[in-house]
Amino acid sequence: MTTDAPPTENRRAPNPPGGRRSRRGRPALGATPARRRLSWRRVNYPAGFASLVWLFIVALPLYVLVSATLRTRQDYLDNGALSLPTSPSVDSYRRVLEGDFLTYLLNTAIVTAACATLVIVLAVTVSYSIVRTRSRASRRIFQFFLLGLAIPSQAVIIPVYLIITELHFYDSLMAIILPTAAFALPVSVLILTGTMRDIDEEIYESMALDGATPLRMLLQLTVPMSRAGISTVGVFSALQAWNGFLFPLILTQSRENRVLTLGLYDYVGEFRVDVPALLAAVVLSIVPIFVAYLFARRQLINGLMGVGGK
């Protein structure tokens, strides 16, 4: 490292952690933070190297994925997975879109939207009741959902199959929506109770003075104040629905009720030797989430962290 590296690092970091920012202006103390920063940087070298290695491990399959879709079937078979697409073509995407892909996409969109709506409505009312009703019962309900976090969906797939067939929902989009939403509820309740607890009690009290009903308080105060939590829950449950595989696999059958993940699984047989088309379908299934990620990055991270952050 050259001698002027620490100040460069200093300029690069827009938000130095801790109290460094306030000290930066004081030349008398300048030497100490610089030395500290130096030691912090030394911590990062081995781990930084490891992350570069990991970056390579993550990026290589992604490169294979994208480059394969831009080549013809014959080109892929002849030149292997790593060669560059010399004459890029989107033919493989066309082959995918000519099939039932758009049906699968539409089904997935319906399932995702319905699931997110259902989860938001149920999680908001449950969390509102837990946070605002201070009773033994509300604590019990919270613990119930906390325990519910631990239920693996695979373990209950057989009884869920029984319930869905008894309800005559087998092989319908409803069969996917209901259990998927149920399994997204515990995390959502956890996230939302966390957000709603931060709302100031005094605002509720002043609203109550005006004679507001619980419903009006929910709609005018709680929901607007917990927008961040609600969007996190929405994004989280949408991701669960979009990527879910087990429930569609067991609970649906026909082609017109097929969602994307199941469609991809089916393509293995259909595009047996047409790897570019198979991978094009994979790319097409990821693109919508990736676009959503670009717009709702924070909510997505929060939603993902909500799973284990508690």
Partner 1 sequence: MHPPTPTGRRERARRPTGRPGISWAIPGVAFFAFFAAAPMFLVAFLSLTSWDGLGSPAWAGTDNWTRLWSDPGMRTALWLSLLLTAFSWLFQTPIALLLGVWAAGRQKSRAMLSAVFFLPLLASSVALALVWRSILDPNFGLAADVARWFDLSDANVLGSERGALAAIAFVAAWQFIPFHTLLYQGGARQIPKSLYDAASIDGAGTVRQFFQITLPQLKNTVVTSSVLMVVGALTYFDTVLILTRGGPGDATSIVPYLMYETGFQAFDLGYASAIATALVVTATGVSLLMVRLTGFSRMRSTREGM
Which residues in 193-252 contact partner 1 (CB under 8 A)? 204-205, 207-209, 211-214, 217-218, 239, 242-246, 250
Please report whether residue 76 would count as binding partner 1 according to CB under 8 A. yes
Distances (CA, A) of 118 to 43, 112, 123, 142: 46, 10, 8, 19
Looking only at residues 144 through 183 of this chain, which bind partner 1 when binding is defined by CB under 8 A? 144-145, 148, 150-152, 154-163, 178-179, 181-183
Residue with tokens 């539409």: 106
Query: Please, what is the minimum distance in Å from the beta carbon of residue 206 to partner 1?
Result: 10
Tell me which residue of 138, 166, 152 sits closest to 247, measured CA to CA. Answer: 152
Among the listed ranges 85-93, 109-117, 143-151, 225-233, the one in contact with partner 1 (CB under 8 A) is 143-151
95-114 binders of partner 1 (CB under 8 A): none
Q: Does 1 bind partner 1 (CB under 8 A)?
A: no
Q: Report how far residue 175's alpha carbon sits from residue 171's, in angstroms, rounded to the nearest whole number.
A: 7
Per rule CB under 8 A, is residue 265 in the interface with partner 1? yes
Residue 90 or 208: the one with the smaller Cβ distance to partner 1 is 208
- Contact characters 30-69, partner 1, x per CB under 8 A: -----xx--xx-xxx-xxx-xx--xx-xxxxxx-xx--x-
What minimum distance in Å lies between the beta carbon of 182 and partner 1?
4
Task: Name the minimum Å distance from CB 89 to partner 1.
Answer: 18
SS3 label, residue 254: coil
94: Cβ contacts below 8 Å, ≥ 6 apart: none
The least distance separating partner 1 from the CB of residue 102, rounded to whole angstroms, comes to 17
CA distance 277 to 266: 13
For partner 1 (CB under 8 A), the number of binding residues is: 112
By C-beta, is 58 or 102 nearer to partner 1? 58
Closest CB to partner 1 among residues 141, 191? 141
Closer to partner 1 by CB, 90 or 307: give it: 307
Q: Show the DSSP H helices in 133-217 as ranges.
A: 136-148, 157-166, 173-197, 201-209, 214-217
Q: Is 138 exposed, middle or buried (0-12, 13-18, 19+ CB in 10 A)?
A: middle
Contact segment (CB under 8 A) with partner 1 among 84-92, 94-102, 223-231, 296-304 equals: 296-304
**DSSP letters for 92-132:** HHHHHHHTTHHHHHHHHHHHHHHHHHHHHHHHHHHHHHHHH
| Identified binder of partner 1 from the candidate list 122, 199, 228, 296, rule CB under 8 A | 122
* DSSP annotation of 218: I
Distances (CA, A) of 222 to 118, 125, 201, 217, 257: 18, 10, 11, 6, 37
Nearer to partner 1, 89 or 153 (CB): 153
Q: Which of 70, 279, 299, 306 binds partner 1 (CB under 8 A)?
A: 279
Task: Look up tokens 């933070």; give the residue.
Answer: 33
